[in-house]
Amino acid sequence: MKGKIIILGISLLMLNSCVSKSDYEKSELEKSELEIQLQEIKQELSDVKYKYNQIKQEKSQAEIERNKKPFITENKALQLIGDNFSFYERNMAYRNVKLRRIADNSFKVSLETCINKKNYVSDDFFWKSKVRTLTVYNNGKYDFPPF
């Protein structure tokens, strides 16, 4: 008798846990659709990661280029000093320029300056020695502050 009750109990459990064929097929279809959506999301994520890495690399390269210091020759430094006095300091004359490189794009410049008027320029008394720094940036602009 106990054996019959156990068999009856197992049979009832099996019947209660069974799913209808239509519900099973519906679940399988939903599973397939979800797997397809998951693959699409994985592909989109992969594309986003690729674009992010590409932008990050471009930004890094741009930063390197922006911070890259140009190499300035002494002749170019002399030209820039001449440009500075011909445009920004037209009222001043200069002479005895000596350069000392402190970086690829920068020089310490020792020179003498004087007011650019004939009476002053012809007399050594009015000439004053100065040391200034010439710095050239990678965009071609330069800085040559008075002090």
Q: Read out DSSP for 97-138?
A: EEEEEEETTEEEEEEEEEESSHHHHT-GGG-EEEEEEEEE-T
Q: Please identify, among 51, 68, 85, the residue that sits at the C-terminal boundary of a domain.
A: 68
Q: Is residue 60 domain-resident?
A: yes
Which amino acid appears at position 30 of this protein? E
Q: Is residue 20 domain-resident?
A: no
Q: Is residue 126 domain-resident?
A: yes
- Domain holding 45, by residue range, is 28-68
Q: Please identify, among 13, 41, 68, the residue that sits at the C-terminal boundary of a domain.
A: 68
Q: Is residue 9 domain-resident?
A: no
In tens digits, the chain (147 residues) has pLDDT values of: 666 677 656 665 555 556 677 777 888 888 888 888 889 888 998 889 999 999 988 888 878 777 777 888 999 999 999 999 999 999 999 999 999 999 889 999 999 999 988 888 888 898 999 999 999 988 889 999 986
Furthest C-alpha separation in the chain: 136
Q: Is residue 22 domain-resident?
A: no
Whether 132 and 102 share a structural domain: yes
Whether 64 and 96 share a structural domain: no
